[in-house]
Structure 1
Amino acid sequence: MATTRMGSSGDDNKHLNGLGSNPNVANMRRLFAGDSIDGWEKCWEEGLTPWDLGQPTPIFTHLLQTGNLPKGRVFIPGCGSGYDVVAIAGPERHVVGLDISYTAMKRAEELSSSSPNASYCTFLAADFFTYQPSELFDLIIDYTFFCAIDPTMRAAWAKKIGDILKPDGELLTLMFPIGDEAGGPPYSVSVPEYEKVLNPIGFKVIQVVDNELAINQRKGREKLGRWKKLHSQSSL
């Protein structure tokens, strides 16, 4: 998925609490009747982006401020307008944000251009599944991306994560929406769904906790997972 503004009005403050019953989400899903790649671009063009807080994700800034965010090269797929990329970038972290929407990447570049961290950010309009970085990453952050792809693609998602993450690198997953919501995107997720695709390729879960810093509308449906890549896979 990407990231723009679902908290800018009273109606939008419903966020994804109702999912399919939320008019913004229902309208967004209608754009995916055809090609999904085109659907994401249309979402951005029409302002139907009910997954973005309009600011950095609180749990990520908390981890940064408390010294609990790994350093090095960081990758955020489905970064949208780039709030999280800009927030955690700096001399200790070069952050690559990727989104399939050119409109999203244009907005992200505009956002980062006024930031003192601009030189530590890179934004790419590309397909996650075909993206080939020049170097492996120390940390990958996934939020509103795993839930955005068709569930049949989750094994391919895990393989790609494993391919571009360094041995002993860390994967951070902010798991939402946990539950049995029908349809998508966003598609329902669960901890076992992550384990099913990550464990067989050498990832070990280090921690899974409720996200106490989730926005009110997402509390109880969002968990933070930390995973360690225990052995190398294919190299670039």
Structure 2
Amino acid sequence: MKQILDKEYWKKRYVANEIGWDAGAVTTPIKEYVDQLENKDLKILIPGAGNAHEAEYLWKQGFKNVYVLDFVQEPLSNLKTRIVDFPEKQLILGDFFELNDSFDLILEQTFFCALNPDLRTEYVQQMYRLLKKNGKLAGVLFDFPLTEQGPPFGGDFESYFSLFNPIFAIKKLELCYNSIKPRAQKELFVLLEKL
């Protein structure tokens, strides 16, 4: 299975505009989740954010404590071009697995599925470390059979449940009713809480 933690691989994808996962805007499941959040002071992380349409949406809704992390500079620069007053210190160029900080909320949108499945246990442990007590991990995970070819790599309810259940309270793990059309019936909405 191809190792996906490869900066050159991702840089080439952005430079060649091979970003088929990019919906061009915040997707409905994330938008509707964000729309019900009342505390605009939440410290929020979007890892593997790509062009970070979720961060742009949050920013425009008044959430100013948003941090965006990506492995390569191109998507961070794209966000900064769209939101010129987005603070540089909240644009993190780096490796998710090396990040040392704490957050109230982490949004998951096409990051988990881009990682080599061999890294999934480490992903869960790092999410746990990054969240404050009672912090939440929310977003979407793909729901289709795990493949050797990717990204995206698949997964299903049972595999996600067995990964997250030992250390998180699973508040929701269910088929998205509001996926964008190309992803309909292929996404699970997840809401986890660190206890």
* TM-score when normalising by structure 1: 0.74
3-state SS of paired residue (1:60): helix
Unaligned runs of 5+ in 1: 1-31, 231-236
- Secondary structure (helix, strand or coil) at the match of 1:41 reads helix
TM-score normalised to structure 2 length: 0.88
Distance 2:150 2:188 in 1: 19
Indicate if the aligned counterparts of 2:3 and 2:116 stay in contact, CA closer than 8 A. no
| Higher-Rg member (1/2) | 1
- Supply the distance in 2 between the matched residues of 1:71 and 1:82 (Cα, whole angstroms): 19
Residue matched to 1:108: 79
Question: Which residue does the alignment assign to 2:171?
Answer: 206
Return the alpha-carbon distance in structure 2 between the equivalents of residues 155 and 148 of structure 1: 14
Once residues 120 and 3 of structure 2 are traced to their aligned partners in structure 1, the CA distance between those partners, rounded to angstroms, is 20
In structure 2, relative to structure 1, the CA distance for the partners of 1:47 and 1:120 (3 Å cut) is: closer
Match of 2:100 in 1: 132
Give unpaired runs (5+ residues) of structure 2.
none
| Equivalent in 84, 94, 100 of residue 54 of structure 2 | 84
Q: What is the match of residue 44 of structure 1?
A: 14
Rounded to whole Å, the distance in 1 between the matches of 2:89 and 2:176 is 26
The aligned length equals: 194
- Aligned residue number for residue 7 of structure 1: none
* Cα distance in 2 between the residues matched to 1:185 and 1:224: 19
Q: Call closer, same or farther: CA 1:60–1:148 in 2, change over 3 Å.
A: same
Q: Equivalent of 1:155, from 121, 125, 149?
A: 121
Contact 1:56/1:83, CA 8 A, preserved across alignment: yes
Distance in 2 between the 1:188 and 1:106 partners?
29
Counterparts of 1:193 and 1:34 in 2: how far apart (Å)? 20
Question: In percent, how many aligned pairs have the same letter?
Answer: 23
Query: Distance in 1 between the 2:154 and 2:88 partners?
Result: 33
CA RMSD of aligned residues (A): 2.5
Give secondary structure in 1 for the equivalent of 2:10: helix
Secondary structure in 2 aligned to 1:50? coil
Per-residue CA distance 1:117-142 (angstroms, 9 max, x = gap): x3598211111111222xx1000111
CA distance in 1, matches of 2:14, 2:93: 13
Task: Name the structure 1 match of 2:131.
Answer: 165
Aligned to 2:186: 221
Q: Does 1:188 align with 2:158?
A: no
**Contact 1:82–1:108 under 8 Å retained in 2:** yes
CA distance in 1, matches of 2:28, 2:100: 29
